[in-house]
């Protein structure tokens, strides 16, 4: 009689069976082979997203140079230019990255970034046609490579057990939970 051993959940493999983890691990290995540090420790974050957003008055179109760092939560590639949103402890800010501004090699590396990666962005603020305050990236740096994918944007975290087991995910993707956590920390 054979005994079936219950299979333990291997945390190195995503539960949904996708190969995103393997792809991200391969990107990490490529960065190391190219001599690039995937865990940059010397990025100078001068502003938070909230501070940067306050630096551009409503009546102005251009603003001062800022340096922020955060996690990529949205990414739109459009040929020679890209928009991305990064999130930090103060909220979200959009960045505009152009191939002409950062160079062809850097832009090719930039396009290999994934959702969830931590990056630093330095450049002047400007207001887009839709009125959103945005950083025009003159320089960026990969601060930390994320190996695990974030939950889907639209469905998010719906399983209460997962929310409690993986609290860090809830704090990353759920602005309400993050705000509640920050408010409770201030009170205590």
Q: So where are the chain's domains?
A: 20-144, 151-188
Q: Which residue has the higher pLDDT, 162 or 185?
A: 185
Q: pTM of this prediction?
A: 0.76
pLDDT at 92: 92
Residue 107: pLDDT above 80? yes
Q: Percentage of the chain surpassing pLDDT 70?
A: 87
CATH topology of domain 20-144: OB fold (Dihydrolipoamide Acetyltransferase, E2P) (2.40.50)
Give CA–CA dist 83/33, Å, rounded: 28
């Amino acid at each position: 009689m054979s005994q079936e051993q219950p299979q333990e959940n291997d945390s190195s493999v995503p539960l949904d069976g996708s190969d995103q983890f393997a792809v991200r691990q391969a990107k990490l290995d490529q960065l190391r082979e190219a001599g690039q540090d995937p865990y940059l420790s010397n990025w100078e974050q001068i502003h938070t997203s909230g501070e940067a957003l306050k630096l551009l008055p409503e009546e102005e179109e251009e603003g001062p140079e800022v340096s922020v760092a955060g996690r990529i939560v949205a990414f739109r590639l459009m040929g020679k230019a890209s928009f991305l949103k990064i999130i930090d402890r103060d909220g979200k800010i959009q960045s505009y990255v152009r191939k002409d501004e950062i160079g062809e090699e850097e832009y090719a590396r930039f396009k290999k970034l994934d959702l969830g990666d931590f990056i630093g962005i330095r450049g002047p603020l400007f207001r887009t046609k839709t009125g959103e305050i945005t950083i025009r990236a003159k320089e960026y740096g990969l601060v930390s490579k994320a190996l695990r994918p974030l939950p889907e944007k639209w469905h998010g975290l719906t399983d209460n057990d997962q929310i409690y087991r993986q609290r860090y995910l809830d704090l990353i993707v759920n602005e309400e939970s993050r705000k509640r956590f920050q408010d409770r920390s201030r009170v205590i």
